[in-house]
Amino acid sequence: MFWFLLITMVVVVAAVTLAVVGGGDSEVLPDAAPEQLVDPLPLSRPVDRADVEALRLPVAARGYRMEDVDDVLDRLAAELAERDARIADLESALAGRAAGEPDEGGER
């Protein structure tokens, strides 16, 4: 039993040594390229709920990449500001029409 354990230990030490030293010039694991966000938000139309739900940000070593998150949040903030301005314009036009003011075409 002693000889079996001794031979097993020698084989394990030799295998570990070959794995560590025997790699030569090649790396054991090549460096992986970091994930980059390909902007999934459409440029040709406003962002809708499905776009936001489908959005998946690439994960970095300690969470999400700040640049990617900032870009997406900036884009969503701009979209929301644009929609808020459009809603305010439509509400003021509707309030003017309800108050009896003629619209831009001169009709009532």
The predicted-structure confidence for 7-19, as pLDDT tens digits, reads as follows 999 999 988 887 7
Average pLDDT over residues 24-28: 59
Pick the more confident residue, 92 or 46.
Answer: 92
Give the C-alpha separation, 95 to 89, whole Å. Answer: 10
The predicted model scores a pTM of: 0.51
The band of 52, judged by pLDDT with boundaries at 50, 70 and 90, is confident
- Per this entry, what is the length of the chain? 108
Mention every residue, 6+ apart, whose C-beta is less than 8 A from residue 47: 41, 75, 76, 79
* Virtual torsion, Cα 47, 49, 53, 59, nearest 10 deg: 30
Measured on CA atoms in the order 67, 69, 70, 75, is the torsion positive or negative?
positive
pLDDT given at position 30:
62
